[in-house]
C-alpha cells in the first residue's frame, strides 16, 4: 500500500510542482490543479472550496457545473464540505446523500454522483478550505486515494497562502469566530482571573514549502534532524529526571521510544519519496497518525499521540531551524501562555507586562514555576487536557483560576459573566486592601506576623500594596534564574540594597542561593547535568558550600548592602547542624575581611536556618542554640516527608498538608523551638491558604511568610480567629486524628465564623 500511495501522490505532486512554478494567476492554477487530480484519480469530479468571508466558496471544479463556481457557498458546519472544514476531519463516503449532514445544491448538478471523499486544507491547524472528489459509482475510496488527497491538500495550502487566495488574517479569524467555544477544566494552581490571546510556548511551525526540489537533499535534512533530535532526547534523559527541563521521566522515556522508532522515520522517508519536503513529510505523517489514533478510543494511546505530537513539533523545529520559544519572539498583546510544562527560568523570560495567565498540561502546586507565577500574580491552570486540540494559537482565552477553568473562544454571554465575576473579585480585593493598614491580630489579642515571599526587585512593591509586616523569604536565586550569565557581586549587592531601601525599615530575610532541583542554571550546571534525582541532589546549601567562591561573593554582597543596618541571612536545605556552622563561618569570614578594610558593617547580622529536610528535626537540640531564627519550608519538607516529588503532576493532590503526619511533625518542631526561645516561621506555600494557615496558628506558629496575593485573605482569617479556642482543639485533633482532618478543621472554622473563604 505505501508503495502505491507514494506513486500516486508523486504523480500528482510532479504535476503540481509545475503548476506552482508557472506564472499564471491563482484562479488558473486552481483550475489546473483540479484537472490534474481528477485525471490522476480517474474521478469524475474534483472540487476545491476555500474559506472566504466566513463561508466555504466553490473556487474551482471539474465535473460540477462551472456556473456554480464562486456562487455555491456553504457555512462552516453546513453540508459535507462544511462538516469537513469545521471538524478538520476527512470524510470518505460511498453514498454521499446518506450522510446526515448532506446538503444538496441544485446549481452544482452533483445529483449524478454518489461516492464522495473530501479532506480539509489546513493552515495553522485550521481548515482554510476543502478538497474533494466524487464518482458516479457508489464506492468507498481506498487508503491510497485518501492519502494522495491529503498530501495534495497540504501542497494546496501552500499554494493558496502564497497566492493570498484567502486573506490570511480574516480567514483565520472568521473561522475561529465561527468555531464553537470550548471550556477546559483543569487544576487551580494559581488563583486569579485573566484574559488574553493564546500563545504557545513552543509555537507550531508554519510549513512554507511542501513540494521538494531535490528528494535526496530532503532525505539528508530529515536524517540529520533525526540525529540531532535523538541527541537532544538522550541529553535530556541523562540530564535529570524530575522537572529540571520541565519534562518528566515518563515522557522522556516515550520520547526516546518514538525518537528511535524505525517505523516513524520510515514513514517520513516514504512521504519524502512521494515528493514532499522534509517539513511537509513530517507534518503529513503526524496528521496521518493522528487520524488513525483518533479512530481508536483509548486514553493511553491518546497520551502517546500527544508525545508523538510534541516530538514531531520538535523535529520540525530542528529541520526548519525555527528553534526559539515564544519568549524569544516576544509577546505582542496580552497573552495566555500555553505549554505542556515550563521551568521557572522559562517563565521568567516572558515580558511581565504582557503575560497574563498560564495554561499547562502538567504542573503541580509547589513546582517552582507555580511559585514564580504566584509571586508574579499570574493565574495558572494545570493539568488541562486536550489543550492542543482545543486551543489554537491566537484564540481568545478567559482564564478563571479560581475555578480551574479556561474558556476558549468565549461567546459574548460567557464574556459578560466573566466580566461581572471580575468586578466581584475586584471588590473583594478592595475589601482585603482595607486590611492593609490593620495589624494581623487575633480576636483574643495575639499579634501575628504576616510577611511576604519575594524574589525580584519588583516584588518589594507588594510590601506597600499589601501592608505586610516583612519579607520573610527573599529567594535570591531568582536574580540568577532571570539572568543569562552568573550575576556579578556588584549586581547582587545592588539588588539587595535596593530591596532593603524599598522595604523602608521592614525586616527582610535574605535566603542564600537555592539553586539546583527544578531551578537548574544552564551556566552553572553545564558540567553537572548527570543528577539522578536533583531535588535530593547537589542543590542549595550543599552546592553553595562546595562552590564557596559563589557563596563568598553573595555573602560580601549581602554584608555590603546591609552596611549600617540590621540584616537577616538564612541558609536553605540545612540537613545537619555543621552545615549551618560552615555557612555562618563563611559569612563571618567575609565580615572580618570587610572589617580589616575598614568597611562599614551591618549593625547586626541575624543568622537563620530553613527546616526543610526532615533529618534536621532530629538534631534541633544541637542546632537551635546556634541560630537566631528558624523558618520551615513546607514545600520541600512535605516532599521529603512523603517521598513525593513536589513537581510531579500525578502526586499533586495525593497528600494533604493537613495530614496528621505533617501537622504532628510541625508541632514537634514548634515546641522545640519554643523551648529554645527561637522564633519559628513557616514560609512554604501552605501558609498562604487560609485553612492551612489556621491549622499552623493552632500549632503555635506566629509568623507566616506567604505569597503577596494571600496577605489579604490571611489577615482576614487571623482577624476573625480566636486563637485561645483553636489551640486546644488542634491539640485534641492531633492526639486523636479524625479520618478527615481537613473536614474537621473546616467544620470548626465555620462554626466559629473564621473567614477561611
By three-state DSSP, how is residue 379 classified? coil
Q: 356 or 475: whose CB is closer to ligand PEP?
A: 475
Q: How far apart are CA 606 and CA 612, in angstroms?
A: 19
3-state helix, strand, coil in the chain (%, to 5): 50, 15, 30
CB of 461 to ligand PEP, least distance (A): 20
Q: Is 413 exposed, middle or buried (0-12, 13-18, 19+ CB in 10 A)?
A: exposed
Residue number closest to Mg ion, CB atom? 636
Q: 77 or 377: whose CB is closer to ligand PEP?
A: 377
CB of 647 to ligand PEP, least distance (A): 11
**Partner touching 684 among ligand PEP, Mg ion, none, CB below 5 to 8 Å by kind:** ligand PEP
**Partner touching 82 among ligand PEP, Mg ion, none, CB below 5 to 8 Å by kind:** none
275 in Cβ contact with 215 (< 8 Å) = yes
**Partner touching 634 among ligand PEP, Mg ion, none, CB below 5 to 8 Å by kind:** ligand PEP
Q: 241 or 477: whose CB is closer to ligand PEP?
A: 477
**Residue matched to cell numbers 488574553:** 196
Q: 171 or 509: whose CB is closer to ligand PEP?
A: 509
**Partner touching 63 among ligand PEP, Mg ion, none, CB below 5 to 8 Å by kind:** none
Q: 278 or 620: whose CB is closer to ligand PEP?
A: 620
461 is written with which cell numbers? Answer: 512593591
Return residues touching Mg ion (CB under 5 A): 612, 633, 636
CB of 660 to Mg ion, least distance (A): 22
75 in Cβ contact with 58 (< 8 Å) = no
Report DSSP letters for 421-480, one per residue.
Answer: HHHHHHHHHHHHHGGGGS--B-TT--B-EEEEEE-SGGGGHHHHHHT-SEEEEEETHHHH
**Partner touching 192 among Mg ion, ligand PEP, none, CB below 5 to 8 Å by kind:** none
Q: How far apart are CA 638 and CA 631, in angstroms?
A: 14
243 in Cβ contact with 367 (< 8 Å) = yes
Cα angle: 424, vertex 427, 431; to 5 degrees: 135
Q: How far apart are CA 84 and CA 131, in angstroms?
A: 10
Residue number closest to ligand PEP, CB atom? 633
Report DSSP letters for 16-56, one per residue.
Answer: HHHHHHS-S-HHHHHHHHHHHHHHHHT-SEEEEEEEETTEE
CB of 633 to ligand PEP, least distance (A): 3
Report DSSP letters for 498-530, one per residue.
Answer: HHHHHHTTSEEEEEP---BTTB--HHHHTT---
Q: 9 or 570: whose CB is closer to Mg ion?
A: 570
16 is written with which cell numbers? Answer: 503540481
Q: 204 or 519: whose CB is closer to ligand PEP?
A: 519
By three-state DSSP, how is residue 95 classified? coil
CB of 73 to ligand PEP, least distance (A): 57
CB of 637 to ligand PEP, least distance (A): 6
**Partner touching 371 among Mg ion, ligand PEP, none, CB below 5 to 8 Å by kind:** ligand PEP
CB of 656 to ligand PEP, least distance (A): 16
CB of 641 to ligand PEP, least distance (A): 12
**Partner touching 123 among ligand PEP, Mg ion, none, CB below 5 to 8 Å by kind:** none
545 in Cβ contact with 603 (< 8 Å) = no
Return residues touching ligand PEP (CB under 6 A): 371, 473, 475, 514, 612, 633-636, 683-684
Q: 349 or 612: whose CB is closer to Mg ion?
A: 612
CB of 636 to ligand PEP, least distance (A): 3
Q: 620 or 683: whose CB is closer to ligand PEP?
A: 683
Amino acid at each position: 500500500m505505501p508503495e502505491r500511495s507514494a506513486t500516486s501522490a508523486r504523480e500528482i505532486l510532479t504535476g503540481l510542482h509545475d503548476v506552482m512554478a508557472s506564472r499564471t494567476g491563482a484562479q488558473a492554477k486552481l483550475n489546473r490543479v483540479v484537472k490534474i487530480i481528477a485525471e490522476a484519480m480517474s474521478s469524475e469530479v474534483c472540487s476545491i472550496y476555500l474559506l472566504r468571508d466566513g463561508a466555504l466558496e466553490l473556487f474551482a471544479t471539474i465535473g460540477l457545473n462551472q456556473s456554480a463556481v464562486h456562487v455555491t457557498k456553504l457555512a462552516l458546519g453546513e453540508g459535507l464540505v462544511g462538516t469537513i472544514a469545521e471538524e478538520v476531519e476527512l470524510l470518505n463516503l460511498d453514498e454521499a446523500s446518506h450522510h446526515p449532514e448532506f446538503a444538496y445544491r441544485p446549481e452544482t448538478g452533483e445529483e449524478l454522483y454518489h461516492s464522495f471523499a473530501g479532506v480539509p486544507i489546513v493552515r495553522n491547524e485550521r481548515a482554510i478550505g476543502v478538497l474533494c472528489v466524487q464518482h458516479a459509482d457508489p464506492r468507498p475510496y481506498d487508503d491510497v486515494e485518501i492519502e494522495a488527497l491529503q498530501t495534495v491538500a497540504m501542497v494546496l495550502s501552500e499554494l493558496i497562502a502564497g497566492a493570498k487566495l484567502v486573506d490570511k488574517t480574516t480567514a483565520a479569524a472568521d473561522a475561529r469566530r465561527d468555531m464553537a467555544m470550548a471550556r477546559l477544566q483543569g487544576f487551580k494552581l494559581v488563583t486569579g482571573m485573566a484574559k488574553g490571546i493564546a500563545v504557545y510556548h513552543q509555537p507550531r511551525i508554519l510549513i512554507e514549502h511542501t513540494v521538494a526540489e531535490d528528494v535526496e537533499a530532503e532525505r539528508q535534512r530529515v536524517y540529520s534532524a533525526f540525529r540531532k533530535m535523538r541527541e537532544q532526547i538522550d541529553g535530556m534523559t541523562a540530564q535529570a529526571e524530575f522537572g529540571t527541563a520541565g519534562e518528566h521521566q515518563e515522557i522522556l522515556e516515550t520520547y526516546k521510544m518514538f525518537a528511535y522508532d524505525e517505523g516513524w522515520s520510515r514513514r517520513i522517508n516514504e512521504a519524502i519519496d512521494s515528493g514532499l519536503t522534509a517539513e511537509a513529510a513530517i507534518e503529513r505523517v503526524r496528521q496521518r497518525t493522528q487520524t488513525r489514533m483518533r479512530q481508536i478510543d483509548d486514553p493511553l494511546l491518546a497520551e502517546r499521540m500527544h508525545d508523538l505530537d510534541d516530538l514531531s513539533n520538535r523535529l520540525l523545529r530542528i529541520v526548519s531551524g525555527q528553534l526559539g520559544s515564544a519568549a524569544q519572539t516576544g509577546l505582542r498583546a496580552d497573552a495566555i501562555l500555553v505549554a505542556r510544562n515550563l521551568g521557572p527560568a522559562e517563565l521568567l523570560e516572558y515580558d511581565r507586562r504582557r503575560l497574563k495567565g498560564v495554561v499547562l498540561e502538567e504542573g503541580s502546586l509547589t513546582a517552582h514555576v507555580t511559585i514564580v507565577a504566584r509571586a508574579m500574580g499570574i493565574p495558572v491552570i494545570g493539568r488541562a487536557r486536550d489543550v492542543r486540540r482545543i486551543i489554537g494559537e491566537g484564540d481568545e482565552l478567559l482564564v478563571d483560576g479560581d475555578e480551574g477553568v479556561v474558556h476558549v473562544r468565549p461567546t459574548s454571554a460567557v464574556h459578560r459573566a466573566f466580566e461581572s465575576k471580575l468586578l466581584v473579585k475586584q471588590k473583594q480585593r478592595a475589601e482585603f486592601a482595607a486590611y492593609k493598614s490593620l495589624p494581623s491580630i487575633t480576636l483574643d489579642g495575639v499579634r501575628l506576623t504576616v510577611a511576604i515571599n519575594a524574589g525580584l526587585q519588583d516584588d518589594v512593591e507588594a510590601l506597600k500594596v499589601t501592608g505586610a509586616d516583612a519579607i520573610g523569604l527573599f529567594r535570591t536565586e531568582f536574580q540568577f534564574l532571570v539572568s543569562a550569565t552568573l550575576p556579578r557581586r556588584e549586581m547582587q549587592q545592588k539588588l539587595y540594597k535596593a530591596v532593603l531601601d524599598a522595604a523602608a525599615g521592614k525586616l527582610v530575610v535574605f535566603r542564600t542561593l537555592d539553586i539546583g532541583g527544578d531551578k537548574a542554571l544552564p551556566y552553572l550546571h553545564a558540567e553537572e547535568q548527570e543528577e539522578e534525582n536533583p531535588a535530593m541532589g547537589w542543590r542549595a546549601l550543599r552546592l553553595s558550600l562546595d562552590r564557596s567562591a559563589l557563596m563568598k561573593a553573595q555573602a560580601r554582597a549581602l554584608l555590603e548592602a546591609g552596611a549600617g543596618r540590621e540584616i537577616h541571612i538564612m541558609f536553605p536545605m540545612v540537613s545537619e547542624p555543621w552545615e549551618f556552622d560552615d555557612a555562618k563561618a563563611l559569612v563571618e569570614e567575609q565580615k572580618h575581611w570587610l572589617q580589616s578594610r575598614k568597611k562599614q558593617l551591618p549593625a547586626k547580622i541575624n543568622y537563620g536556618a530553613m527546616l526543610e529536610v526532615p533529618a534536621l528535626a532530629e538534631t534541633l537540640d544541637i542546632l537551635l542554640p546556634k541560630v537566631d531564627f528558624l523558618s520551615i519550608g513546607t514545600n520541600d519538607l512535605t516532599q521529603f516527608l512523603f517521598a513525593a516529588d513536589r513537581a510531579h503532576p500525578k502526586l499533586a493532590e495525593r497528600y494533604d498538608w493537613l495530614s496528621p503526619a505533617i501537622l504532628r511533625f510541625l508541632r514537634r518542631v514548634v515546641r522545640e523551638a519554643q523551648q529554645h526561645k527561637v522564633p519559628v516561621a513557616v514560609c512554604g506555600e501552605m501558609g498562604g491558604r487560609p485553612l492551612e494557615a489556621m491549622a499552623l496558628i493552632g500549632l503555635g506558629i506566629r509568623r507566616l511568610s506567604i505569597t503577596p496575593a494571600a496577605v489579604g485573605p490571611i489577615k482576614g482569617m487571623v482577624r476573625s480567629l480566636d486563637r485561645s479556642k483553636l489551640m486546644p482543639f488542634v491539640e485534641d485533633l492531633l492526639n486523636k486524628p479524625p479520618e478527615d482532618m481537613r473536614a474537621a478543621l473546616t467544620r470548626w472554622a465555620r462554626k466559629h465564623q473564621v473567614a477561611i473563604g
